[in-house]
Each structure stands twice: as C-alpha cells, then as structure tokens.
Structure 1
C-alpha cells in the first residue's frame, strides 16, 4: 500500500496579494468632511464607499 506524497505549495509560485487601492488605501471606505450652517462650520466626517475600487480595496484595473 503506497502513500501519495503531499504537495506543498511553493511560496514563490503562489498568487501575490493584489495591490491596494490608492484612493482608500485598501479599506474600501473614504471619509468626507460634513459642514453645516450658513458659515459652513465643520461638524464631523462621514464615511462612504470608495468609488475607485467599489469597496473591494483592490487597485482598479483599466
């Protein structure tokens, strides 16, 4: 009874990590300053989906 040898994945041929999105730095979210009132004072920040990578965090391909 022969035992099959296990294949160990080679780290040099493994898939490299995808590049991070330059706009959101890989988080998938971007922040915008929220301003209110006539004098447009700053009250905080609001997060939203990154439109460059559509929230995936990976660098967009052209």
Structure 2
C-alpha cells in the first residue's frame, strides 16, 4: 500500500488593524472650544478665550463612538 501524502497549511491569521477613536465634532479633537467674551452693559463681544469642551470633557474623542 502506498504511503499517504498529507500537507498541513499554517493558518494565516492577520492581526486586526488598530481602530482610531473618532474625533469630537465640536472641538475637532483638540479638547478646547472658543468661547466669546462679552463685556459692558450692552454685552458687546470683545474677543474669545479657550474653554473646555463639554462634549468630550477635554479628551478630544467622541464619547458616543
């Protein structure tokens, strides 16, 4: 009786690609948003200052993703 020829294939598994977290929409991933500063009795705008993004709390990633 002839010998049996068997070949074993090595399983080809690839590592999954790392998923990048989605950026926060209001701050664009920076964690800071511009807040208008108003002064005077008529509350006229005089400039802007940086403030903490309340959507992502400064992390820059989308909390809903």
TM-score by length of 1: 0.71
- How many residue pairs match? The answer is 52
Q: CA deviation at 1:49?
A: 0.9
Q: CA deviation at 1:61?
A: 2.5
Gap regions ≥5 residues in structure 1:
1-9
After the TM superposition, list the runs of 4 or more consecutive aligned residues in structure 1 that deviate by more than 6 angstroms.
none
- Which structure is larger by alpha-carbon Rg, 1 or 2? 2
Q: CA deviation at 1:51?
A: 1.0
RMSD: 1.9
Q: CA deviation at 1:60?
A: 0.7
Q: Which among 40, 54, 61 is matched to residue 57 of structure 2?
A: 54
